[in-house]
Structure 1
Amino acid sequence: MRVGIFGGGQLAQMLVQAAISLGVEVVICERTPDSPAARYTQHAVVGPWEDEAVLAGFARQCDLVTLENEFIDAGLLERVVALGAPVWPTPATVAVVQDKLWQKERLAAAGLAVPPFRPVAGPDEVLAVAQEFGWPLVLKARRNGYDGYGNATLRGPADVVPAWERLTRGGSPLLVEAWVPFSRELAVMVARRRDGATAVYPVVETVQQNHICHVVYAPAPVEPAMAALATELAVAAIEAVEGVGIFGVELFALADGRVLINELAPRPHNSGHYTIEACVTSQFEQHLRAVLGWPLGPTTMRAPAAVMVNLLGQRNGPIDTSAITAALAVPGAHMHFYGKREERVGRKMGHITALADTLAEAEAIARRAAALVAMPS
């Protein structure tokens, strides 16, 4: 069995690592050579994804294809299907999820709780929506935004034009959402097979740093009723988009007990990295099981608590694995370094997971190790 993966970053890298344990071969399709994932497999196709010869060469080597991010245009995925390689999640699902307006419309049509939203065609329409929703607002690129790069918080009329000009440079249309005064940000990983069977991971709390996931607490320190509501919403969301594979569902928890869906990711997700050590089945293995139609694995945690801390770049420049040497001496800290050649400010360079009896104990271990990671000049 040979699975193709569009993209060669750290998510594809960890999918390859899981595939090795399952005896599954992987083909990486990436625009540039020497990607983190391609170093783990003998099979790689390098070139522009829009090139028909690249797509044909990729499809020819694969029994099925999946993806490590939602930025591969659904039209390209449809071409891969036409070339004889099924794609999971399907191009139709990816088309809905990769456009944040279509995603919100699909979830709202299914009766699921989402923040109020509107498509907008110009700054004047944003100002009109402000009359309805009030300030602040969140302006979003409908496509290709991640880690806060496609978002802008609008606190008043003066913010509208500068944010509009910045976000429309990439060519994506925009939408606007009401500001949500959340008390916590939650996330749930949901795996779903083609036959509708699902496996759900514990609800986690995520803490952002400059709009990038920085810390994940598993399980989230919330009341059981809120965790149950978040889980119910997450499963219903993936069913609404007819998802196949692993999906990350980001949610807002409100002080009054309500939970709203923020966004979906049709792939392994940063909030699920803790599952590698903390759960019986990692999100990466689970994704492969789901797209292959194999039995889904248990999602039970191996310890009462786990905390994951992302290692985010602090500067711009080259880096090597010596950066993690000191951190490896911390007992109980599980290190993942992605092998990226260049560090950039805010770039995800790796992560550390720690397991313990309490969240406080796990966090102390993970943060101690993270503090010892040196990004040498």
Structure 2
Amino acid sequence: MKKIGIIGGGQLGKMMILDGKRLDTWFSILDPTEHCPAHSIADFHIVADFDDVDAILRLAEGVDVVTYEFEHISVKALQLLEERGHKVYPSSETLLHIQNKLVQKQWLAKHGIPVPEFLPIESLEDIYEAESRFTYPMILKTCTGGYDGKGNAVIAGHEDAKRAYEALGAGKLPLMVEECIDFEKEVSILICGSENGEMSVFPVAENVHKNSILDETTVPAKISEASRQEAMEVAKACLQAFQACGMLCIELFVTREGHILVNELAPRPHNSGHYTIEGCYTSQYEQHVRAILGMPLGNPGLIRPTVMKNLIGDKNGTADLQGLEEAYRFPNAKIHIYGKETVKVGRKMGHITATGENIEEALAEARGAHDALWFR
């Protein structure tokens, strides 16, 4: 029996375990929350902070390979594991070049991968100097720690720079500024590299965000064949540039001219890849497990058009879900509830996936089920 250790016990870890269990894989997780989503199905749970190096070492000592479900963890801890002979996928080197968004963009540009223009920011004066290079609006970002729109601020004009700078810590955190892309669509693509050198690319997914949080993913993306091919080639270039083993998600902009620019990367399964559980022959979670165990990769192809819609908290309180029976009156809808004990505004609590003969049919099913669910 193979044993996998996961740093993180959220919904991504939970779904990884659900697929991995079909392969009779044993899972240990490390997460500071006792009743995190993956707790109920993990074989062993180390309750410890993500920066607890001793706990991470204990996790590694009991498994064949260590992976992680989010990237805001210690690169030095992963390097220590590798120095002691433990397998870590994606590697510390991969995470080193992805974790910091400025370093990530610099690495992408170095490898000739198309990205929006960007500059490091160390002071308010740096933002003012960026005016000569970028037109407004510009996007100010923290280089580490941001997700779901957190750590981002739009600078609408010269007079707005100070507000944005202060909103993101006034230099207490490393910052960068990017040109604001007038994009046609936001899409993402999942690609997987295995320990034995295989590569597998999933279909291009089209994403719609609300309040900077992913709301809906539709697959296949409604883009031109030329854009689709370009996205596939960019994904392969990214996998090679970062030498990633396991799942890599690349978030992309499709410009008005149909070209592809890389927005951000995540070295793990991703929210926009939830659709693969019902929509593809092999899910992103099974593919990740296969990859890090050195097994042959599965078919990533789409079975039929698929929609994923997130269930996002709109209140703060106990996670008392209502409407499940009504939601299941939509027969093609599959409902995934993560098992978080509390609901918060903007928190991802679950998702709905639906397949159909076409995107419109799948959208109607997913939205219908979604509208029936609420937290009391």
TM-score normalized with structure 1 length: 0.97
Letter paired with 1:210: N
Letter paired with 1:334: K
Please give the alpha-carbon distance, in whole angstroms, between the structure 1 residues aligned to 2:55 and 2:170. Answer: 28
Shift of 1:325: 3.3
Letter paired with 1:355: T
Please give the alpha-carbon distance, in whole angstroms, between the structure 1 residues aligned to 2:315 and 2:173. Answer: 29
Letter paired with 2:49: P
Question: Which residue of the partner structure matches residue 341 of structure 1?
Answer: 341
**Which secondary structure state, in structure 2, belongs to the residue aligned with residue 153 of structure 1?**
strand
Question: Which residue of the partner structure matches residue 320 of structure 2?
Answer: 320
| CA deviation vs aligned residue, 1:131-173 (integer Å, no higher than 9, x gap) | 2111110001111110000111111122222222222379530
After TM superposition, the runs of 4+ consecutive aligned structure 1 residues lying more than 6 A away are none
Please give the alpha-carbon distance, in whole angstroms, between the structure 2 residues aligned to 1:43 and 1:367. Answer: 36
Please give the residue correspondences for 1:249-264 in structure 2 after superposition, counting only pairs within 5 Å: 249-264=250-265
Letter paired with 2:204: V
| CA deviation vs aligned residue, 1:23-75 (integer Å, no higher than 9, x gap) | 11110011221111121122111112333431232121111100000101211
Letter paired with 2:249: G
* Contact 1:333–1:365, Cα closer than 8 Å, also in 2: yes
* Contact 2:140–2:154, Cα closer than 8 Å, also in 1: yes
Letter paired with 1:368: G
Structure 2 stretches lacking a partner, 5+ long: none
| CA deviation vs aligned residue, 1:177-216 (integer Å, no higher than 9, x gap) | 0010001001000001134321000001000011111000
Please give the alpha-carbon distance, in whole angstroms, between the structure 2 residues aligned to 1:7 and 1:142. Answer: 21
Question: Which residue of the partner structure matches residue 213 of structure 1?
Answer: 214
Please give the alpha-carbon distance, in whole angstroms, between the structure 1 residues aligned to 2:91 and 2:75. Answer: 9
TM-score normalized with structure 2 length: 0.97
* Contact 2:206–2:221, Cα closer than 8 Å, also in 1: yes
Question: Which residue of the partner structure matches residue 138 of structure 1?
Answer: 139
Please give the residue correspondences for 1:207-356 in structure 2 after superposition, counting only pairs within 5 Å: 207-303=208-304, 305-356=305-356
Letter paired with 2:14: Q
- CA shift in 2, pair 1:284/1:364, >3 Å: same
| CA deviation vs aligned residue, 1:210-244 (integer Å, no higher than 9, x gap) | 11110001000111111111111111112111111
Structure 1 stretches lacking a partner, 5+ long: none
* Contact 1:6–1:30, Cα closer than 8 Å, also in 2: yes
* Contact 1:138–1:151, Cα closer than 8 Å, also in 2: yes
Question: Which residue of the partner structure matches residue 42 of structure 2?
Answer: 41
Structure ranking higher in helix proportion: 1
* Contact 2:155–2:161, Cα closer than 8 Å, also in 1: yes
Question: Which residue of the partner structure matches residue 358 of structure 1?
Answer: 358
Please give the alpha-carbon distance, in whole angstroms, between the structure 1 residues aligned to 2:143 and 2:161. Answer: 16
Root-mean-square deviation (CA, aligned residues, Å) is: 1.3
- Between 134-143 and 160-169, report the one with greater CA deviation: 160-169
| CA deviation vs aligned residue, 1:231-275 (integer Å, no higher than 9, x gap) | 111111121111110011000001112111111000001111000
Shift of 1:77: 1.3
Question: Which residue of the partner structure matches residue 369 of structure 2?
Answer: 369
Please give the alpha-carbon distance, in whole angstroms, between the structure 2 residues aligned to 1:238 and 1:184. Answer: 22
Please give the residue correspondences for 1:191-210 in structure 2 after superposition, counting only pairs within 5 Å: 191-210=192-211
Please give the residue correspondences for 1:88-107 in structure 2 after superposition, counting only pairs within 5 Å: 88-107=89-108
| CA deviation vs aligned residue, 1:84-133 (integer Å, no higher than 9, x gap) | 42110000110110111111111111111100001110111011112211
* Contact 1:73–1:95, Cα closer than 8 Å, also in 2: no
- CA shift in 2, pair 1:154/1:339, >3 Å: same
Shift of 1:320: 2.9
> Percent identity between the aligned chains?
39
